[in-house]
C-alpha cells in the first residue's frame, strides 16, 4: 500500500484514493447524513463517475453502500441509516441505473429508497413475510412491506396489433432462469422487460459469520463463469481490510488465472454466437478449444473452471517449469487456431449479416447506464481496469485496450476476438517473466472491525468486491457486485426495434449472469 496518493477535491474535506500494489486505487468514504450522500454522488457524477452498484448491509448499524468508478479509481460511499426511518436517498435521478440496485436493497433489507419512483420488487417474489436480511430486532412495521404474491406489473404497451410474449423462467436450452416480457408488433420488439430473482440464493446471509477461507470458497461459486474474478475481488478486499500485499509470485499467478477465465468464456461466447446465427460448426470448433483450455486448467490449477484457485493472501498453486512450457505451447496453439477462426467469421456472409446492425447499444445509452466490460467497449466506452489502472504485474506488460464504436452484435464479437488475442499475448509475457514461486501470506488479525473494497476486470466487466471483517477473521458482511445488472439495462435498451428471432443472439452477445444478478 505505498505509492502516490491521488487527491480528489471533495467538498467534505477531500478524499484520498489509496493506490495498491496489485489492484486499482480505491477509497471508502463513510457518511452519516443523507444530504451528504446525495451531494457526494452529484459531485462524483460531475467528475465523470459511473455508478457500478448499490448494496445494503446490516451490522450494528444498518447502512447502504454505493460504488462509483472514476478515471482515478474506485470510490465506495457508505451511508449509515437512521434506525428510526431506515431510509436512504435514491440516486436514480443522478444515475438512471441506480433503481435496479436500490429495489434489490429494498426487497432484501427493507430500507426505503426515498425518491425512487419504480418500487416494483426486484428480487422478492412474494414469498417472504419480512425482508430476509432485515435486522430481527426491528419491528416489521418499520420496514418496507414485502410485495403481495401475484402478477408482476410489467409496463404495458398499448396500440393496435401490440401483443406480449412471455418467456421464462424456464428457457429452451441450457440457460439460467429468468423472465423476459416482450411487447411486440408483428415480428418487431417494441419493448423488453426483464424480471429476475429466480436464482436468488441469499448470498449475503451465507457470507455473514463465515471465516475468510469459507467466504473465499463461496465467492468462487456465486457466478461460476466468473469464479476467478469473484474470488480475486473478494481476496483483494480482504487484503485491503487486513493491510497485506500478496507476494509478486502470487500476483503473477492471479493475473494468469484471470486471463484464462477471460479466454475460456470468450471462446464459449464466440462459439455460441456463431451457433445462434446458424453456423453449427462454430460451436464445435470453439467448443474444442475451450475443452482443451479446461483440461489444462485441471492439470495445472486443479480445477476445470478454476474454482478455489486463489485465496486471500495468495494463490493456491505455483507453476513448475514444465507447466510453464506447456502453457506457452497452449498460447501458441490458441493464437494459431483463433487467427483461422477469426478469418472464417469475418468472411462468412451469413454470419456477418446476422451480426451487423443487430442489437445496437449506442455509446450514449452505454454511458448513461454506466455499461462497462465487453459490451461497453463495443459501444465506445474506453475503460478497462487492466489498461487504465495498471497495478502490478499488469503495468509491466500493458495489455492494449480493445475498442469499437458500432455497438452491434458484430462489434461485441470483434471485441471478444481482440481481447482473446491481447489476453494470450499478456499471458505469454507473464509466463516468460514468472518470478519466484507464489508465497501465500498469512492474514494478520485485526484489532477492530475493518472494511476493504476492490475492483477487478472480469470477462464481462467490472466486478466489485466489498467486505467488512471482525477481529478473529470472521466476515461480518460481504458483497460482490457483478456488472450484469447494468447489462440487463443494456439488453433492454438494445433489443427494441429488432426481430424477436434475433433476441437469443443479442442476449448471448451481452451474456449477463443471472446468478450474479440475483445473488
Partner 1 sequence: MWKLLWKILKTGNLTEAQKTDPGCATPSEYRHSAAIRHLDAGSCNGCELELWALENPVTSLGSRGLSFVASPRHADILLVTGPVTCHMREALEITSEAIPSPKRTVAVGDCAKDGGIFRGSYAVMDGLPSIMEVDVFVPGCPPRPEEIAAGLLRAFAEKTPAT
Among 69, 74, 305, 464, binds partner 1 (CB under 8 A): 305
> For 324-376, what is the HEC assignment?
HHHHHHHHHHHHHHHHHHHHHHHHCHHHHHHHCCCCCCCHHHHHHCCCCHHHH
Q: Is 223 near partner 1 (CB under 8 A)?
A: yes
Q: Is 284 near partner 1 (CB under 8 A)?
A: yes
Q: In the complex, what is the shortest distance from the CB of residue 242 to partner 1, in angstroms, rounded to a whole number?
A: 23
**Is residue 206 within 8 Å of residue 464, measured between CB atoms?**
no
Q: How far apart are CA 81 and CA 69, in angstroms?
A: 23
Among 85, 211, 299, 340, binds partner 1 (CB under 8 A): 340
Among 25, 56, 197, 318, binds partner 1 (CB under 8 A): 197
Among 146, 236, 513, 517, binds partner 1 (CB under 8 A): 513
Q: Is 232 near partner 1 (CB under 8 A)?
A: no
Name which of 95, 152, 150 is nearest 119 in CA terms: 152
Binding-site string for partner 1 from residue 348 to residue 377, where x marks contact by CB under 8 A and - marks none? x-----------------------------
Q: Tell me whether residue 283 or residue 400 sits nearer to partner 1 (CB atom).
A: 283
Q: Which stretch binds partner 1 (CB under 8 A): 48-56, 300-308, 357-365, 436-444?
A: 300-308
Q: How far apart are CA 318 and CA 314, in angstroms?
A: 10
Q: Tell me whether residue 158 or residue 172 sits nearer to partner 1 (CB atom).
A: 172
Q: Tell me whether residue 52 or residue 208 sits nearer to partner 1 (CB atom).
A: 208
Among 281, 382, 398, 432, binds partner 1 (CB under 8 A): 281
Q: How far apart are CA 412 and CA 373, in angstroms?
A: 10
Q: Is 512 near partner 1 (CB under 8 A)?
A: no
C-beta pairs of 420-425 under 8 Å, 24+ apart in sequence:
420/262, 420/263, 420/266, 420/267, 420/334, 420/338, 421/335, 421/338, 423/259, 423/262, 423/263, 423/266, 423/399, 424/259, 424/263, 424/331, 424/334, 424/335, 424/338, 425/397, 425/399
Among 18, 138, 162, 283, binds partner 1 (CB under 8 A): 283
Name which of 453, 426, 449 is nearest 25 in CA terms: 453
Q: In the complex, what is the shortest distance from the CB of residue 507 to partner 1, in angstroms, rounded to a whole number?
A: 14
Q: How far apart are CA 54 and CA 99, in angstroms?
A: 9
Among 115, 177, 363, 435, binds partner 1 (CB under 8 A): 177
Q: How far apart are CA 469 and CA 457, in angstroms?
A: 24
Q: Is 285 near partner 1 (CB under 8 A)?
A: yes
Q: Is 127 near partner 1 (CB under 8 A)?
A: yes
Q: Which stretch binds partner 1 (CB under 8 A): 223-231, 310-318, 368-376, 452-460?
A: 223-231
**Is residue 168 within 8 Å of residue 179, measured between CB atoms?**
yes
Among 300, 307, 383, 421, binds partner 1 (CB under 8 A): 307
Question: Phi, psi at residue 167, to the nearest 5°?
Answer: -130, 125
Q: In the complex, what is the shortest distance from the CB of residue 292 to partner 1, in angstroms, rounded to a whole number?
A: 8
Sign of the dihedral through C-alpha 175, 105, 26, 488: positive
**SS3 of residue 127 by DSSP:** coil
Q: How far apart are CA 487 and CA 329, in angstroms?
A: 35
Q: How far apart are CA 98 and CA 112, in angstroms?
A: 13
Sign of the dihedral through C-alpha 349, 351, 357, 362: negative
Q: Which stretch binds partner 1 (CB under 8 A): 65-73, 134-142, 194-202, 423-431?
A: 194-202
Q: What angle do CA 492, 277, 462 make, to 5 degrees?
A: 45
Q: Is 134 near partner 1 (CB under 8 A)?
A: no
Q: Is 517 near partner 1 (CB under 8 A)?
A: no
Among 12, 32, 291, 353, binds partner 1 (CB under 8 A): 291
Strands 450-457, 26-31: parallel, antiparallel or unpaired by DSSP? Answer: unpaired
Binding-site string for partner 1 from residue 137 to residue 176, where x marks contact by CB under 8 A and - marks none? --------------------------------xx-xxxxx
Q: Is 130 near partner 1 (CB under 8 A)?
A: no
# binding residues, partner 1 (CB under 8 A): 49
DSSP state of 130: S
Under the rule (CB under 8 A), what is the footprint of partner 1? 125, 127, 132, 169-170, 172-177, 197-202, 205-206, 217-218, 221-225, 227, 268, 281, 283-285, 287-288, 290-291, 294, 304-305, 307, 340-341, 343-344, 347-348, 513-515
Amino acid at each position: 500500500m505505498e505509492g502516490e496518493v491521488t487527491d480528489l477535491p471533495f467538498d467534505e474535506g477531500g478524499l484520498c484514493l489509496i493506490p495498491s500494489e496489485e489492484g486499482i486505487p480505491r477509497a471508502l468514504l463513510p457518511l452519516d447524513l443523507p444530504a451528504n450522500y446525495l451531494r457526494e454522488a452529484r459531485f462524483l457524477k460531475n467528475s465523470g463517475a459511473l455508478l457500478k452498484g448499490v448494496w445494503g448491509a446490516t451490522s450494528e448499524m444498518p447502512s447502504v453502500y454505493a460504488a462509483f468508478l472514476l478515471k482515478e479509481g474506485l470510490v465506495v460511499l457508505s451511508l449509515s441509516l437512521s434506525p428510526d426511518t431506515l431510509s436512504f436517498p435514491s440516486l436514480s435521478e443522478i444515475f438512471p441505473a441506480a433503481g435496479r440496485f436500490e429495489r434489490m436493497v429494498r426487497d432484501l433489507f427493507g430500507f426505503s429508497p426515498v425518491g425512487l419512483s419504480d418500487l416494483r420488487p426486484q428480487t422478492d417474489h412474494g414469498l417472504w413475510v419480512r425482508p430476509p436480511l432485515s435486522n430481527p430486532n426491528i419491528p416489521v412495521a418499520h420496514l418496507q412491506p414485502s410485495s403481495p404474491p401475484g402478477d408482476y406489473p410489467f409496463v404495458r404497451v398499448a396500440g393496435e396489433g401490440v401483443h406480449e410474449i412471455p418467456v421464462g423462467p424456464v428457457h429452451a436450452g441450457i440457460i439460467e432462469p429468468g423472465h423476459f416480457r416482450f411487447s411486440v408488433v408483428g415480428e418487431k420488439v417494441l419493448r423488453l422487460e426483464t424480471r429476475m430473482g429466480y436464482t436468488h440464493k441469499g448470498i449475503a446471509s451465507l457470507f455473514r459469520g463465515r471465516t475468510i477461507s469459507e467466504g473465499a470458497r463461496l465467492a468462487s461459486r456465486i457466478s461460476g463463469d466468473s469464479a476467478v474474478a469473484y474470488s480475486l475481488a473478494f481476496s483483494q478486499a480482504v487484503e485491503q481490510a487486513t493491510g497485506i500485499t500478496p507476494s509478486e509470485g502470487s500476483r503473477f499467478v492471479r493475473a494468469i488465472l484471470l486471463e484464462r477465465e477471460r479466454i475460456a468464456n470468450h471462446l464459449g461466447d464466440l462459439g455460441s454466437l456463431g451457433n445462434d446465427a446458424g453456423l453449427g460448426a462454430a460451436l464445435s470448433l470453439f467448443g474444442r478449444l475451450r475443452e482443451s483450455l479446461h483440461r489444462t486448467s485441471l492439470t495445472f490449477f486443479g480445477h476445470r473452471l478454476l474454482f478455489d484457485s486463489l485465496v486471500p493472501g495468495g494463490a493456491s498453486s505455483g507453476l513448475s517449469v514444465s507447466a510453464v512450457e506447456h502453457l506457452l505451447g497452449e498460447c501458441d496453439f490458441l493464437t494459431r487456431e483463433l487467427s483461422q477462426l477469426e478469418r472464417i467469421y469475418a468472411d462468412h456472409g451469413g454470419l456477418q449479416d446476422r451480426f451487423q446492425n443487430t442489437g445496437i447499444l449506442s455509446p450514449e445509452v452505454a454511458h448513461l447506464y454506466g455499461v462497462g466490460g465487453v459490451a461497453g467497449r463495443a459501444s465506445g466506452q474506453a475503460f478497462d481496469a487492466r489498461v487504465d489502472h495498471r497495478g502490478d504485474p499488469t503495468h509491466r506488460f500493458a495489455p492494449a485496450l480493445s475498442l469499437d464504436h458500432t455497438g452491434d452484435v458484430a462489434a461485441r464479437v470483434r471485441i471478444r476476438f481482440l481481447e482473446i488475442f491481447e489476453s494470450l499475448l499478456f499471458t505469454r509475457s507473464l509466463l516468460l517473466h514468472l518470478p519466484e514461486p507464489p508465497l501465500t501470506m498469512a492474514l494478520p488479525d485485526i484489532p477492530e472491525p475493518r472494511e476493504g473494497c476492490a475492483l477487478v476486470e472480469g470477462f464481462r466487466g467490472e466486478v466489485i468486491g466489498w467486505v467488512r471483517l471482525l477481529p478473529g477473521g470472521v466476515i461480518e458482511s460481504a458483497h460482490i457486485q457483478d456488472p450484469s445488472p447494468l447489462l440487463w439495462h443494456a439488453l433492454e435498451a438494445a433489443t427494441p426495434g429488432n426481430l424477436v428471432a434475433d433476441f437469443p443472439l443479442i442476449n448471448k452477445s451481452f451474456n449477463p449472469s443471472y446468478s450474479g444478478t440475483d445473488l
